[in-house]
Each structure stands twice: as structure tokens, then as C-alpha cells.
Structure 1
Amino acid sequence: MDRPGGPIVPAMHHFRRLIPALVLLLLLPLAEAGARWEGSPTLDRIAARGEVRVGLTGDYKPFSWEEPQGHFEGLDVDLAEALAADLDARLVIVRTSWPTLMEDLKAGKYDIGMGGISVTEERKEQALFSAPLLTDGKAPIARCEDKARFATLEEIDREGVTLIVNPGGTNEKFARANIRKARLVLHKDNATIFEEIAAGRADVMITDAIETRIVAREHPELCAINPDKPFTRAEKAYLLPQDKAWKARVDEWLAAMEASGEKRKIFGKWVE
């Protein structure tokens, strides 16, 4: 029976006509995501090998620390594991160092550098950085009995003071730019550098404020000096090859970690 205005069209007929459009709407986000990642040699390599290579120095608490038998742990080790899971890839940790950090990246030894890397103009000329993880700055750490002696750069940069620093990174760069009178000692092993201060073979070190807090907890004889008022301000982020699609993928993952609260949870485990 017809009703006024024309025949009754079965609802199933309309639904069948809508199916192609619904499928297109469901597939569109996937297609757009795929388009964003097209042309990324890093992502292509990760997919082909089934592994993501993360460069870590293993000498900078709380970001990464190498224990005996080559075991790595720390804030960025946990985040590296989360990134690998998000990429559906196996995590491979590549040992790098502050002096060879940029050379190893350019040589393609790792896909992403993690572990408390500061964003600098010099590094930005050669690589890309992810969205910032945190903002930090340079602050002193010394024996607690000497805490009052080294509150300012002027008090540190005096004759008779021995400032110790690990080579190849922003700590050495800062020291060479600001220290003129104090004796500057380079100590290659960042894992034992604070023992030199505790033993009295050096007076003070200037490093990132976050590290001074962590070290002071582990060495009661050492005190972080004004970590809430550092000498400088700098962002820390992940170091990436000049691959914009790979950077976009890492930034998207970081945003998701932030939104889910997982990043805050990992930071809380190692920092708070």
C-alpha cells in the first residue's frame, strides 16, 4: 500500500546505502594517520626491523642509569619501554655518551636520544627535538658543610676552589663559559663524579638541578644548593634525527602519555 507522497522504502534499503559511507568514515582517521607518517625513514626502519633503538648515556639519574651486567633503569628507561609498546616494537638500548651524542645520532646508531638531554641551539642546528618534557637549569652541589660557600657563581669562581665537571655536555659548556678563576677538573666517569666531591678531591659541581636533588638523597653528605633558583633555564626533550614525521609521531605519543596520566606516574616513581 502506498502512502501519500510515494511508496514506503524499507529501512534496510537505506541502511545498505549508508554502509559504504560509514566504512569510509571509520577508515578516514587511519588513512590520515598513515599519511602523516609516510615518508619517514625512521618509522619505516622501525617497522621493518620490529625494534626501536633508544640512545642512553646510562650515567644521569633519574633519567637513565646503567647497573652491573649492562642493565639500564630510570625515568627514561620506563618511558622508552612505553614508547616501544606504543610502536609495537622491541626496545633496544644503545649505549651512547655525552661527547659522542650527536655523532652517534648522525651515524644512525639510534632512533631517539633520551636520558635528560638539554635543548641547545647548537644541537638544534643538527637535529630535531620532541616536545619538551620539563624545564630545568644549572645549580651547584657540594658537601653540606660547604653549602653556604657556593650559593652564587661569584663564590664558586674563586682561586682555591676546585670545580669538577663531566666532559662533552652542557655541564662542561656552562663551566667553560662562566668559570675563570676556579680550577676546572674534567672527570670522565659521571657515575663516580659525586664521590670525588664527597671524598674532598673536588669542592663543587654545577649540573642540572634535578640531578642535584636526586644525588643529595643518595649521598647525605652532599647538599643541593638552591635547586629551585638555578643559574639558567633550559628545556629537556628527546633528541631526534631530522625526520619531521618521526618527530610528529613521538610528540603524539608524548601528548597521549600526558593526557592519560602515565607520564606523571612515571615521573612520580623516580623524581618525587
Structure 2
Amino acid sequence: MKTGVWIGCLWALLLASCPLAAPGPSLNMVYFDDFAPYSWRDEQGKMRGIMVDVMDSVAAELGIRVTHQGYPWQRAQKLVLAGQADGFVTVPTQARGDYTRVVEEPVAFSILTLFTQAGHPQLARLNQARTLADLKTFTILDYIGNGWGKENLVGFKVHLTMNVDNVFKMLSAGRGDVMITVPIVANFKLRQLGLTGRIIEVPLQLGLTPLTLCIAHTSPFQHRATEFSRVLVRLRQSGELARIEARYR
């Protein structure tokens, strides 16, 4: 075989086997598939929401590919724990910090407040609540996998159900007293379920809570947490994060 042909074949083999020629790994994100408008599965089975849009913007800034998959929340967290997904966006808790690296700059901020049935017989007492401890005598409805609830509602009367829709339906039917959630989630869900006006917000606010990107310790992206944080800072300063959230209000 002629020398030129040999050289051509050698270059072809080198390019085919060179790691730089292959695309980098995708950032495989998982979400709660019933947490609109932050994350939910639409009628075509596609994940949508604030978290999805923010992560698309972050990935575009870093020049990486990203995929979005939705599951029941407890299952989504187990996938990250098992190293079968790269990360999720959620309230950082001690338990989640054991198996993920929490990116410093939040994706969003949420204010947790109370929601109850309009005309609740003890509405006056609920309106007078000033701290979480004032809810000890009430039944709190929550969904399986809520890490905030698991850490903060120890000793309370809590009834767990599969998803957020069920919580609001049960609350409307009087099968519990209150739900603790984010107003943007509640208002979006109540419109979807046709329950606007039947469930109302109680003025007690339980503090500003960050929703952060958490990357599994097993993920090839965990060492890029500082880069993710810097991009999120830029997107916040430019107003892009606010514009994304405004689309869902």
C-alpha cells in the first residue's frame, strides 16, 4: 500500500478513536413531574417549567447538552442517589447534601405559605398563626418525597399522598386542614384544577427558601459546580431568570 494511503488510514483511525472527536456527556436532569409551574409533564409527555427553562439556559451558556426527565418526586431523587441521573433542582436539605453537591447560587427562591379550604371552621385560628409551631393541632396535607416537610414537620399531624393534585383535591374536600407550599405553585395548580376561590392563602409566611441545583457526587459534572454557580449569577444579574419566571405567572 502506498505511503499516502497508509497515512490517510492512520489519520482516520486516530480521529475515530480520539476522545475529542466524540461529543461530551449530557447533563441528565430529573424533576418532579407534578410541580407546575416549576416542573411538570405536558400532554405530549415533554417536561416543561421554570426549572427546565433555567437549566436549558445554563446548559447553553456552558455549551453542554442537557436532557430533562420527570418522575414521581421520590423516584426522581432515588435515581440521583443511585447515580442513574446527574441532578435535580430542589430545596437543599441535609439528607440531599449527603449524596449531591449543592450549587451555591440558587435557581430560584420560594416563599412557603399556608393554604386552606375557604370557609374552614377554624380559619380565624389559622389567620392568627405566627409560627410553624402554631399548626401543631392541625392536620397538614403533604406529598411523598417532600424533603422540606420530612425535615420540618416531625411531630406534626401529617397526611401524605402521591402528588400535589391530590393534596389540593383533599384540601378542597375538607380531608385535611392546611397545605404548606409556594404561592406560584398553588395558584398555577388551582387554576388547572378549577379550584380557584375554593382554597385560599393564609398570611403566615415560613421564610424564603432557595431552590438549588444539586449534582450527584457520582456525576461527571459535580466538579463543575462553581461554573454552574457563575452562570446562574450572570443570568440573575441580566434579568433572564426573572423573565423566565414571569412567563409562568
TM-score (norm 1): 0.68
Pick the aligned partner of 2:140 from 148, 163, 168: 163
1:135–1:233 Cα contact (<8 Å) kept: yes
Query: Post-superposition shift, 1:178?
Result: 4.5
Structure with the higher fraction of residues in strand conformation: 2
**Alignment-derived partner of residue 177 in structure 1:** 154
Q: Give the unaligned 5+ runs of structure 1.
A: 1-43
Runs (5+) with no aligned partner, structure 2: 1-19
Identity %: 20
In structure 1, distance between residues paired with 2:124 and 2:190: 15
> 1:224 Cα deviation (Å)?
1.7
> Offset of 1:120 from its aligned partner?
1.6
Report the number of matched residues. 217
Alpha-carbon distance between aligned partners in 2 of 1:171 and 1:260, rounded to the nearest angstrom:
30
Q: What is the Cα deviation at residue 71 of structure 1? A: 2.2
Aligned to 1:251: 229
For residue 101 of structure 2, what is the aligned residue in structure 1? Answer: 128
Name 2:50's counterpart in structure 1. Answer: 75
Give the structure-2-normalised TM-score.
Answer: 0.73
- Aligned pairs for 1:80-159 (under 5 A) are 80-114=55-89, 117-130=90-103, 131-146=105-120, 147-151=123-127, 152=129, 153=132, 156-158=135-137
2:165 is aligned with what amino acid? A
**2:224 counterpart SS class:** helix
Aligned alpha-carbon RMSD (Å): 2.8
Who is 1:54 aligned against? 29
Higher RCO by CA contacts (8 Å cutoff, separation 6 or greater): 2
Q: Structure 1 or 2: larger helix share?
A: 1
Shift of 1:154: 5.5
The 3 A distance-change label for structure 1 pair 263 and 232 is closer
Q: Which amino acid aligns with 1:54?
A: M
Quickly say closer, same or farther: Cα 1:133–1:48, change in 2 above 3 A: closer
Counterpart Cα distance in 1 of 2:181 and 2:225: 27
Matching residue of 1:25 = none
AA partner of residue 230 (structure 2): E
1:93-128: per-residue Cα shift (whole Å, max 9, x none)? 1224432344311322222312xx111222223211
SS at match of 1:231: strand
Q: Which protein is bigger by CA-based radius of gyration?
A: 1
